[in-house]
């Protein structure tokens, strides 16, 4: 570091999410961070597209947590499964998961994974979207039932965990940020954290 370079303030990073999947992904960046629940109403607005819903909620989560941690760099994220323009949320229970997977079999579903990074102290705010196109196999009812009994992915948008047995449900995945489908696009996250002044390497 030259004498003319001012020291960088390394701000606390806060993940505004209760998702264990996002927590595990963010830990890959080898960066100390805290976790805080965003407490945001995730109800879709009338006529809101899955893409717009994901973007709105990611930013709302980041802003909500930033209000409590104004000096920190806060990450918010949200994912909505988009089947022909219709949002598919987390199923929550078995019957809804069966229904979702029956709807998606043989179809291309776009998992709209949105990311927001906010720091109130510096006025930094960025939002980005990492859409992932997923082609589901023409699944039989038995395959759907066997998968759900094995993995119970009821806390996952679209009722499938691609990082686990759920990969066997799929024909193809198309994206430019490999972890986006799991819930946090790390290439974009790293880019936005650097832009917010966080040193990663």
d(CA 193, CA 190): 5
* C-alpha closest to that of 157 among 110, 189, 116, 117: 110
Q: Are 103 and 82 within 8 A, CB to CB?
A: no
155 is catalytic: no
* C-alpha closest to that of 81 among 99, 62, 63, 60: 99
For 44-90, give the DSSP string: PPTT--HHHHHHHHHHHHHHHHHHH-TTSEEEEEEEEEEETTEEE--
Catalytic residue among 39, 78, 142, 176: 78
Annotated catalytic residues are 78
């Amino acid at each position: 570091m030259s004498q003319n370079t001012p020291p960088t303030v390394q701000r606390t990073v806060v993940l505004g999410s209760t998702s264990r999947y996002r927590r595990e992904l963010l830990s890959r960046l080898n960066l100390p961070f805290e976790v805080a629940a965003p407490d945001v109403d995730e109800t879709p607005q009338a006529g809101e597209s899955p893409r717009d819903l994901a973007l709105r909620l990611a930013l709302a989560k980041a802003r909500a947590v930033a209000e409590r941690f104004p000096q920190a760099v806060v990450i918010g994220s949200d994912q909505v499964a988009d089947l022909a323009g219709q949002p598919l949320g987390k199923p929550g229970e078995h019957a809804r998961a069966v229904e979702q997977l029956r709807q998606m079999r043989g179809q291309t579903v776009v998992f709209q994974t949105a990311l927001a990074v906010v720091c109130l102290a510096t006025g930094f705010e960025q939002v980005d979207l990492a859409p992932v196109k997923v082609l589901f196999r023409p699944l039989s009812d038995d395959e759907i039932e066997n998968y759900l009994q094995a993995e119970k992915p009821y806390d996952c948008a679209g009722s499938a965990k691609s990082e686990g047995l759920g990969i066997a449900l799929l024909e193809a995945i198309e994206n430019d940020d490999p972890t986006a489908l799991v819930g946090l696009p790390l290439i974009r996250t790293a880019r936005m954290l650097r832009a917010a002044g966080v040193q990663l390497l």
